[in-house]
Amino acid sequence: MKFTNSEENYLKSIFHLQMQQGNVSTNTLAATLKAKPASITDMTKKLNAKKLLHYKPYYGFYLSTEGRKAALEIIRRHRLWEAFLAEKLEFQWDDVHEIAEELEHISSKKLIDKLDAYLGFPKFDPHGDPIPDNKGKIKEPRKISLLQMQTDVPCIVCQVGNDSAELLELLKHKKISIGSKLSVKKRFEYDHSLEIKINQSLITISNQLAKNVFVTYES
Amino acid sequence: MKFTNSEENYLKSIFHLQMQQGNVSTNTLAATLKAKPASITDMTKKLNAKKLLHYKPYYGFYLSTEGRKAALEIIRRHRLWEAFLAEKLEFQWDDVHEIAEELEHISSKKLIDKLDAYLGFPKFDPHGDPIPDNKGKIKEPRKISLLQMQTDVPCIVCQVGNDSAELLELLKHKKISIGSKLSVKKRFEYDHSLEIKINQSLITISNQLAKNVFVTYES
DNA sequence: TTTTATTTTTAGACAAAACTAAAAATTTTT
DNA sequence: AAAAATTTTTAGTTTTGTCTAAAAATAAAA
Ligand SMILES: [Mn+2]
Ligand SMILES: [Mn+2]
Ligand SMILES: [Mn+2]
Ligand SMILES: [Mn+2]
């Protein structure tokens, strides 16, 4: 699918914010894009209609699988161009970002794959950020502790914090294992415990346990 | 000064039309830009207000000194990117134009001058068209259309009339490219087609094609 | 020199992407 | 639980670039 420059900038910013915090709010996105909140709502509705993100009025939004895929393509283009500017054209590393902001919107797949090959398939951009490959895969596996995971986003357990018998026993008892699909439903401020939905039922997880369960977004 | 993509496309097209004919008319520009005449009038008035062209309602228009300077910068960017795509990224010559149509709008002067240096300050793009230097100077080659070329004189293809996909496809099929050595062997009065010798074989070329193939004498 | 055809311009509409100002929903504080 | 503060959305405008349909100007034909 082909997007406008503006749509692409939104997708990219939402992706980045999502990496840091969980759910993205209208105001934070407005701040990073240097736009007014009203403009964010407008575009958010448009991206929602295109099924690029999940949006519930007043409760923020997060990218859909589609949207995440698109964002990764844009990030790939951005970082490959940054690599080109720095390595081939001898730009300083603090000088490449602005130009890459424009180059990233040129969407020819052939162009980007050829550029990638020309640069020798670099894994990182000049700032050390990983460059997604042509399948959208990033070198570093993207894992988040359940504590960081935003609510209501389906995700998959991919790693546990350690191999202690006690931890594994508890996980086994709660029927959580690598590959389990779940989503965080609620957080309690009192003891920082979470309620998660797994296997069609709601269960409670302590803060200590959540800290040691790592998930990735559903692919 | 900074222009919108649309303004730049208009400036470029007007420049090219001006090279062929003299004054540019609303309808011809509409045809080359694949837009409606009403749109041309709108943009023409805007460019006139910005003093980029001289415009007299109902009597066509032509670029001002300012406008010509801007057009040459865009053409410089376009052709440098085409050179980059062909030489560094190994694109075919009939495959570079479309992508350069987008790249040409990235206006960083530093980027273009660095790209120019990286390519070794090329004088011609993959289609044999001259690349303006960073002062806007073009080095015009001494060239003759195949139509004007006398028979049995060896010559070298140095330029094609335009970058249209259809023209390039036909040239590719006939194995004619920049640098090809050939000589005109025969002309036919009936349809003004020619027979030329190229790669040790005789092939037929239509009048329309010959008009758009330019050659220089062998040096 | 009228009439007809063509070209060009105007008038009005539309979509995209932004904005301001005001209303509505949510969150926080009292 | 009510009031105040904050966040988010809606409503209405603006700019850019395009379009269609109709009017006006110019060019060509009769
Ligand atoms: Mn950008
Ligand atoms: Mn970077
Ligand atoms: Mn263009
Ligand atoms: Mn060219």
Least confident window among A144-148, A166-170, B29-33: A166-170
Assess whether pLDDT exceeds 80 at residue A168. Answer: no
Chain D: bases < 7 Å from a protein Cβ:
7-12, 16-22, 25-26
SS3 B79: helix
Would you call A94 an interface residue with chain B, using a CB distance cutoff of 8 Å?
A: no
Q: What is the pLDDT of residue A81?
A: 98
pLDDT band at A163 (very low <50, low <70, confident <90, very high): low
pLDDT band at A190 (very low <50, low <70, confident <90, very high): confident
What is the residue type of A160?
V
CB within 8 Å of B152: residues ≥ 6 apart: B183, B184, B185
**What pTM, to 2 d.p., does this model score?**
0.77
Percent residues over pLDDT 70 in chain B: 99
Within 10 Å of residue B175's Cβ, how many Cβ atoms? Answer: 11
Assess whether pLDDT exceeds 70 at residue A219. Answer: no
Which nucleotide is nearest to A35 if distance is taken from CA to C1'? C18
Q: In the predicted model, what is the mean pLDDT of residues A4-28?
A: 94
Percent residues over pLDDT 90 in chain B: 71
The residues facing A198 across adjacent strands are: A182, A201
Hey, of A98, A111, A118, which one would you mutate to test binding to chain B, going by the most B CBs within 10 A of its CB?
Answer: A111
With beta carbons less than 8 A apart as the criterion, state whether B92 and A110 touch. Answer: no
Average pLDDT for chain B: 92
Instruction: State how far residue A106 is from chain B, nearest Cα, in angstroms.
Output: 7
Would you call A19 an interface residue with chain B, using a CB distance cutoff of 8 Å?
A: no
pLDDT band at A189 (very low <50, low <70, confident <90, very high): confident
Higher pLDDT, B84 or B58: B84
Please report, rounded to whole angstroms, the spatial distance between the CA atom of protein residue A132 and the C1' atom of nucleotide D2. Answer: 52
User: Cβ contacts (< 8 Å) between B114 and chain A: which residues?
Assistant: 89-91
pLDDT band at A209 (very low <50, low <70, confident <90, very high): very high
Q: Tell me which ligand sits closest to the C-alpha of residue B106.
A: 3
Q: What digits encode the pLDDT tens for the residues A106-153? A: 989 999 999 999 999 998 888 767 899 999 998 766 678 998 888 888
- Map A91-150 to HEC letters: CCCCCCHHHHHHHCCCCCHHHHHHHHHHCCCCCECCCCCECCCCCCCCCCCCCEECCCCC
Q: What is the pLDDT of residue B123?
A: 93
Instruction: State how far residue A88 is from chain B, nearest Cα, in angstroms.
Output: 8
User: Cβ contacts (< 8 Å) between A102 and chain B: which residues?
Assistant: 106, 108
Higher pLDDT, B100 or B181: B100
What is the residue type of B122?
P
Least confident window among A156-160, B20-24, B163-167: A156-160
Q: In the predicted model, what is the mean pLDDT of residues B48-65?
A: 93
Higher pLDDT, B189 or B35: B35
Average pLDDT for chain A: 90
Q: What is the pLDDT of residue A141?
A: 61
CA-to-CA separations, A208 to A35, A36, A147, A161, B111, in angstroms, rounded:
39, 39, 9, 10, 51
Q: What digits encode the pLDDT tens for the residues B136-155? A: 999 876 788 998 888 887 88
Residues 54-83 of A with CB under 7 A from strand D: 55, 57-58, 60
CA closest to A108 among chain B residues:
B99
Q: What is the pLDDT of residue B216?
A: 87
Q: In the predicted model, what is the mean pLDDT of residues B89-118?
A: 96
Q: In the predicted model, what is the mean pLDDT of residues A168-178?
A: 85
Q: What is the pLDDT of residue B219?
A: 63
Q: What is the pLDDT of residue A91?
A: 93
Please report, rounded to whole angstroms, the spatial distance between the CA atom of protein residue B45 and the C1' atom of nucleotide C8. Answer: 13
Q: What is the pLDDT of residue B46?
A: 96
Within 10 Å of residue A61's Cβ, how many Cβ atoms? Answer: 24
